[in-house]
Amino acid sequence: MTTPGRRVAVIGAGYVGLTTAACLAALGHRVRCADRDADLIGRLRRGQVHILEPGLDGLVSEGLAASCLRFDAGSRGAVTDAEAVFLCLPTPAGPGGAPDVSAVMAVAAEIAGALPPGCAVVVKSTVPPGTAARIAALLGRPDVAVVSNPEFLREGFAVTDFLNPDRIVVGFDTDTDTDTDAGGVAQRIASLFARLAAPVVFTSTASAELAKYAANCFLAVKLSYINEIAGLCERTGADISEVTEVLSHDPRIGASHLQPGPGWGGPCLPKDTWAILHVASAASSDLGLLRAALAANQRQLRIIVDKARLALGGRLAGSRIALLGLAFKVGTADLRESSALAIAELLGAEQARVTGYDPAVHTDVAGVWVASDPYEAVTGADAAVLLTEWPEFGMLDWTRISGLMAGDTVIDARNQLDPAVLDRAGLRWQGLGQSSPSHIKWGSRRPGCAR
């Protein structure tokens, strides 16, 4: 059983940091979450959560009410009595895709002198192999251990994933010049999660760091692969939904990440893919399969644009395209590396006018005028493109949309909609990896609407 009331500091109140802090408090620990953004800390102290993540605001409120979660502006004060200090800092892509760990290293240097003897620094940020060892050398504290504990959280499911993990990874090194029992420290960090029913995997720090990249990049390859299979289905008369049904029953493959889409994006997969390629290049290794997955993902963006151009008679200039969904995935307002925005940029480059709607995005974004509701977004549109699989899109009044649009094409890049429903509304449905359903009679209902 975990020791109640363990003292934990979490540095960084971003997506991973705030989720980590709130969930550790929910597990019974006393958590201080620090960030250099004083305004953000002020809002969090009032229970105002800045991240759209189901369940997170409730956990923060509960932690504040129980006095087991507090927020600090600045790192040094938060770590002075901590038994474990979690580093949850951003590691964005730098030049050439190299992961930028400067924020992690800067905070490590900042707190080095304030760490109490015997505490452990836990690297939760996604970092290249060797970073934990660099932090240990930078700290210069033989009485402080550095371990790796990578996160495997999905946006939109982060709280669920934290409290119901598939595995907990703790990386530690025994060949370091420290006065600590590395194995004992690793067990102590693992015990923070003792209330969670999940296997604990102990590794070296380098293996833990690389495993995080390897997991995300495997998903990227899987997504690119299924998108290419969807394209092959369209050319051979096969149905991607039937193909993936067959694949999903194979335990070696599994059912997840078999849904074709407009291309993978978000704050993790693209960044981590470039990062591991940079690591591989520095190690004189060539991950050709991963490079191919990146290239396939870029092609997928253009495939969606090509579908819109073909539907409008081969020309996008002067057309109006409505995008349904702008966030990179359902359940979040995150626009980082969103495939929807990349597609909007490609459409704009061909002089199309782009409108958009997303239930979690309420301000205009580059190249997209954001409407207040989906019906406003599609008004006057020559084609609509569904890019984020928000459930409410499946419940729209498509007959009403048919009357509002200037054209009649709906490109469903998530295969979320029922083609028969759109057919009855007088709209032409186009999905991914599926031949036109035999009961749908294609053809423009508005002569001259296609350009």
Residues annotated catalytic, as ranges: 268
> Could you tell me how far CA 51 lies from the centroid of its own chain?
13
Residue reference for tokens 């495993």: 211
Question: Can you give the C-alpha Rg of the chain in angstroms?
Answer: 24
Query: Could you tell me which of 22, 258, 322 has the C-alpha nearest to residue 158?
Result: 22
Query: Cα separation of 228 and 304, whole Å?
Result: 13
Query: Could you tell me which of 197, 167, 170 has the C-alpha nearest to residue 183?
Result: 170
The answer to whether residues 252 and 166 touch, using CB atoms and an 8 Å cutoff, is: no
Query: Cα separation of 116 and 77, whole Å?
Result: 11
The answer to whether residues 211 and 150 touch, using CB atoms and an 8 Å cutoff, is: yes
Type of residue numbered 307: K
Query: Cα separation of 337 and 292, whole Å?
Result: 18
Residues 6+ apart with CB under 8 A from 77: 34, 114
Please tell me the chain's helix, strand, coil percentages from 3-state DSSP, rounded to the nearest 5: 40, 15, 45
Query: Cα separation of 163 and 198, whole Å?
Result: 10
Positive or negative torsion for Cα 296, 410, 421, 373: positive
Residues 6+ apart with CB under 8 A from 400: 375
Q: What is the DSSP string of 227-274?
A: HHHHHHHHHHT--HHHHHHHHHT-TTT-STT----S---TTTHHHHHH
The answer to whether residues 145 and 120 touch, using CB atoms and an 8 Å cutoff, is: yes
Pairing of strands 120-123, 145-148: parallel
The answer to whether residues 369 and 342 touch, using CB atoms and an 8 Å cutoff, is: no
